[in-house]
Amino acid sequence: MRRFATERAKRLLLASRSPPSAFLCSSPAAAMDPAAGVVTVDTINPKVLKCEYAVRGEIVSHAQRLQQELQNKPGFHPFDEILYCNIGNPQSLGQPPVTFFREVLALCDHPPLLDKSETHALFSADAIARAWQILDVIPGRATGAYSHSQGIKGLRDAIAAGIADRDGFPANPDDIFLTDGASPAVHMMMQLLTRSEKDGILCPIPQYPLYSASIALHGGSLVPYYLDESTGWGLEISELKKQLEDARSKGITVRALVVINPGNPTGQVLAEENQREIVNFCKNQGLVLLADEVYQENIYVDDKKFNSFKKITRSMGYGDDDIPLVSFQSVSKGYYGECGKRGGYMEVTGFNAEVREQIYKVASVNLCSNISGQILASLVMNPPNVGDESYESFSAEKNAILSSLARRAKALEDAFNSLEGVTCNKAEGAMYLFPRLRLPQKAISAAKAVNAAPDAFYARRLLDATGIVVVPGSGFGQVPGTWHVRCTILPQEDKIPAIISRLKAFHEAFMEEFHD
Amino acid sequence: MLGVGGADGRRETRGRERDCVALSSFPLPSVLPLKCNETTEWNKERFSGIGGEGSPSGMAPKPLDYESLNENVKKVAYAVRGELYLRASELQKEGKKIIFTNVGNPHALGQKPLTFPRQVVALCQAPFLLDDPNVELLFPADAIDRAKHYLSLTSGGLGAYSDSRGLPGIRKEIAEFIGRRDGYPSDPELIYLTDGASKGVMQILNTIIRSENDGILVPVPQYPLYSATISLYGGSLVPYYLEEEANWGLDINHIHQSVAAARMKGICVRALVIINPGNPTGQCLSEANLRELLKFCFQENIVLLADEVYQQNIYQNERPFISARKILLDMGPPISTEVQLVSFHTVSKGYWGECGQRGGYFEMTNLPAKTVDEIYKVASVSLSPNVPGQIFLGLMVNPPKPGDISYLRFAAESNAILESLKRRAHIMTDGFNSCRNVVCNFTEGAMYSFPQIRLPPKAIEAAKRAGKAPDVFYCLKLVEATGISTVPGSGFGQKEGVFHLRTTILPAEEEMPAIMDSFKKFNDEFMEQYEDYRGYSRM
């Protein structure tokens, strides 16, 4: 109504005004709407509307409202702080940054410090030496300049050396593209691979919703394969095959397989044998293997070890000509948890020069990724070595963080498993637990009554009662009829007991309320 | 009432078929036409591989052949880092001294970063320094205070993701800056921080463009970010020409003609891009021009995208920078309440030149709340812009004030940069205008000079024989002879038969005379070689 009134006012005001432009527009939506040119939710890119990202969805907006209320009206809620277990953001929950990395970054941010003798009183000698080493590979030592669009060459050399140390197989610095966190790298690959909705990407379910969001944004089709909860979120080749065939029978050209290892939200670490099967599957089916390996440092069990897909392919004797493989890494995870820096890279192997040029071109439109993040990516792939001045303090910091994460993972897993109707697989790696909730029928009906998915209903009740923010499993995908939540293991250790007791009290009350 | 309701409820019902994924965000189309085309042929070969564990790998075609990439990706051209840049990089590897004037990248050409912001960010990177009694030996007290202030605005220091729109405290400081600049208050909720302005432009264009029938009006010559992004998202670029004879002025009649021509082709024109001050053209828009543009956007229901990243780079007094937003609000209703505007800014330009930090923001005016929410959602998929870049933005909008310990130094450093840029703008324009067959408008603002090179017909023929566009041919010869790496005008768009190149005005001032001499010498020789007195390319 108001729109038509203003439309009329406009026309009266400006007699010279041309007739509504939109009748010449060819899209049907535009043709009906005299204001088609302008940006309304009805006239924006429909791919944008389709895209969803639950990790920062409605539940988080609600948590932010509650936090505001806590500030304005202390005591208004039955808890005194919001515990954000929705997102893998360790430093926001009190995890300290690794000192050595930050020393080097500070020196690179303000190089005149390196000329002052007082600096030696405040910074470790190896941090100073490393800062020099890094500045020397940056043209003009200019940390404020745009770099090569793939990232500073000298830093890519360092990262390639770090990868070679990790895998025991060489890495080529020209294969490395530094990005503002791993997410833009994933977007770039989706953009490159997706021509239309007939192009499909095989993604695990449950999955990290970056993938579903990115596929939706780029107009492709997500082809799901289900991880088997009963075998610790196992990845079965037979399931991959079944889903691939099914998608192909629908006319979908499946272009790539996404594997998240260690798993997000599911926390499993793939066994080497399983990885080989996956590699052979991709090779035989002509799929690009997109390996999300951002949790490679987050392993909490002794009987599992992280193996990069690069190492697996090379140890199988496959080289660049055999399989296209993209490995994503980030500074946001691991023991470093430097989310705010937006540092990351992808190592792109098995692509021909023509295709690589296209990736480079797309990277160049955005000029380059942030330099601080680039430097940090080179540091996490080359931490201090035995004998360096910082080595001991660095190792102590690293081990403290990783062993504490392992303890927290275990404590929360046990807590979830102690709840009525809840089962929870072990977090072998990554930063999350993904417990399954067997909800009473009454709770499911109550959820339906308010038009909510049962797990979203549970998560909302949990937040309102305890201030704990978790993400409903429906945001990640799950076997229909099963319900989960994702909870990070990141709250500081001294808070874990209180979280567990609040969680237990809530769950008991919830089950009591909705008992069938 | 649960806010999470709707979408999840739908998922539940849809999720029954296990084959169809249980997420509402990516429904598989229920009917998929099977056409016999390249793709399905390719598919058949794939099928033969299923089940056959040991099928010979040599038979499978490569999954990522060039032919099977997203066509929109292939269409993208981005000249700033294109053929010339690659050739220059090769020459550099061979040991030739290259003067990179192809990218507006001041620190790469020796501009020193401003001291105060670097001190603050270094302290934020290493917060343990703040507890060290020796910290005052290395840092002034106001930098220490400011670092504490910015750390208090974060939720866990530089290492934590911020809100996907940026830290609320920084957005508030930006809103206050915009309020002071324009004389109208600004709402921090409508300011989104990004990893550089380019990401913001890409995000907004992705929101606007639905198909190749959606058109975006872009000035020609333009900064190729716009053409590249429009290709990438599959939209149509609708060009409007700037008038070189009128100092790269903007003629509203030309825009009307461009819109009419596009509509004849069935294109729905949705947005108008202005770059003010201009890149690569360096002109500053007058208030009268901006008013005409806003009236035009109102009449035609077109969103205005105002690229204002060079707002600090002004080298004359007749036309100071005026934001599109100020004029919009000056004009009063209904224009001020109806015209949709998105304005872009960055830490990469101005006297800051902090390109490597990737800090930027956009401000939305008159966008409906639901659209703003959609933009927020897409921003959230990439989690958050980098936090150090956000702090640079905070510092840019709140530099040291008179009376602060660091004020004098900061003022001296920033004035020296701006004054020198102004002198360099003159040296460059005058230098080009003194060359044979070269004419150049004065760089009123921004960081570039965009001289027209009147190429003799013989040179154009020689270029054709070499398989190059004439301006590419000229620029390649230039970099080979002198090491000066420029961008040919064809990368930015130009009228047919007219040739330009873009250089930045960023080489160090002391090197400038020698650079212009070496250009002049090259140009003289080039013209000598190809001139035959039969006439020139136009103008």
Q: Does pLDDT of B468 surpass 60?
A: yes
Same domain, A58 and A40: no
Contact B125 A109 (CB under 8 A): yes
What is the SS3 assignment for B120?
helix
Contact A113 B122 (CB under 8 A): yes
Q: Is residue A106 part of a domain?
A: no
Contact A44 B6 (CB under 8 A): no
Same domain, A356 and A404: no
User: So what's the pLDDT on residue B293?
Assistant: 95
Please give the residue range of the domain that contains residue A266.
146-380
| Full-model pTM | 0.88
Last residue of a domain, one of A380, A406, A431: A380
Same domain, A166 and A207: yes
Task: For B118, name the nearest residue in chain A, comparing CA atoms only.
Answer: A110
- Among A55, A140, A288, beta carbon nearest to B110: A140
- Mean pLDDT score, A7-28: 40
- Mean pLDDT score, A63-81: 90
Same domain, A407 and A371: no
Q: Is residue A387 part of a domain?
A: no
Same domain, A443 and A316: no
Q: Which of A101, A284, A362 to mutate to test the interface with B (most CBs of B within 10 A)?
A: A284
Q: Is residue A108 part of a domain?
A: no
Same domain, A273 and A352: yes
Contacts of residue B156 in chain A, CB cutoff 8 Å?
89, 91-94, 340
CB atoms within 10 A of CB A46: 14
Same domain, A470 and A491: yes
Query: How far is A128 from B123, CA to CA, in rounded Å?
Result: 15
> How close, in Å, is residue B164 to chain A by CA atoms?
9
**Does A68 contact chain B (CB < 8 Å)?**
no
Q: Does pLDDT of A215 surpass 60?
A: yes
Q: Is residue A417 part of a domain?
A: yes
Task: For B200, name the nearest residue in chain A, comparing CA atoms only.
Answer: A366
> How close, in Å, is residue A412 to chain B by CA atoms?
23
Same domain, A308 and A239: yes
Report the sign of the C-alpha dihedral through residues A387, A390, A392, A398, in that order. Answer: negative
Last residue of a domain, one of A380, A409, A435: A380
The CATH number of the domain where A502 resides is what? 3.90.1150.10
Query: How far is A308 from A306, CA to CA, in rounded Å?
Result: 6
Contacts of residue B387 in chain A, CB cutoff 8 Å?
340-342
Q: Is residue A91 part of a domain?
A: no
Same domain, A71 and A40: no
Tell me the residue type at A87. I
Question: DSSP string of A470-497?
Answer: -EEGGGT--STT-EEEEEES-S-GGGHH
User: So what's the pLDDT on residue B429?
Assistant: 96
Q: Is residue A137 part of a domain?
A: no
Lowest mean pLDDT among A339-353, B80-94, B121-135: B80-94
Q: Is residue A456 part of a domain?
A: yes
**How far from chain centre, in Å, is Cα B314?**
18
Q: Does pLDDT of B400 surpass 50?
A: yes
| Contacts made by residues A167-170, CB under 8 angstroms, sequence distance 24+ | A167/A308, A167/A310, A167/A311, A167/A314, A168/A311, A169/A310, A169/A311, A169/A314, A169/A315
Q: How many CA within 13 A on the CB side of residue B331?
A: 23
Q: Does pLDDT of B33 surpass 60?
A: no
User: So what's the pLDDT on residue B533?
Assistant: 61
Contacts of residue B168 in chain A, CB cutoff 8 Å?
none
Task: For B4, name the nearest residue in chain A, comparing CA atoms only.
Answer: A58
User: So what's the pLDDT on residue B89?
Assistant: 86
> A50-66 pLDDT, tens per residue?
877 766 678 888 998 99
Question: DSSP string of A131-176?
Answer: HHHHHHHSGGG-TTS---TT--HHHHHHHHHHHHHHHSS---GGGE
DSSP-derived secondary structure letter, A219: T
- Mean pLDDT score, B154-165: 94
- Among A252, A358, A367, beta carbon nearest to B198: A367
The pLDDT confidence band at residue B536, using thresholds 50, 70 and 90, is: low
Contact B21 A224 (CB under 8 A): yes
User: So what's the pLDDT on residue A456?
Assistant: 95
The pLDDT confidence band at residue B71, using thresholds 50, 70 and 90, is: confident
Same domain, A23 and A74: no
Same domain, A253 and A285: yes
Contact B1 A102 (CB under 8 A): no
The pLDDT confidence band at residue B67, using thresholds 50, 70 and 90, is: confident
How many interface pairs between A and B have CB atoms less than 8 angstroms apart?
A: 471
The pLDDT confidence band at residue A381, using thresholds 50, 70 and 90, is: very high
Total number of domains in chain A: 3
Average pLDDT, chain A: 90
Contact B357 A370 (CB under 8 A): yes
> How close, in Å, is residue B439 to chain A by CA atoms?
29
Q: Which of B13, B14, B23, B346 to mutate to test the interface with A (most CBs of A within 10 A)?
A: B23
Contact A372 B160 (CB under 8 A): no
Task: For A280, name the nearest residue in chain B, comparing CA atoms only.
Answer: B53
More confident residue, B164 or A48: B164
Task: For A255, name the nearest residue in chain B, comparing CA atoms only.
Answer: B63
Contacts of residue B42 in chain A, CB cutoff 8 Å?
253
The CATH number of the domain where A243 resides is what? 3.40.640.10
Query: How far is A428 from B84, CA to CA, in rounded Å?
Result: 50
> A297-340 pLDDT, tens per residue?
999 999 999 999 999 999 999 999 899 999 999 999 999 999 99
Same domain, A320 and A409: no
> A91-100 pLDDT, tens per residue?
999 999 999 9
The pLDDT confidence band at residue A365, using thresholds 50, 70 and 90, is: confident
Angle, vertex CA A55, rays to CA A288 and CA B356, nearest 5 = 70
- Mean pLDDT score, A254-283: 96
More confident residue, A77 or A417: A417
Contact B28 A216 (CB under 8 A): no
> B259-268 pLDDT, tens per residue?
999 999 999 9
List beta partners, residue A469: A84
Q: Is residue A123 part of a domain?
A: no
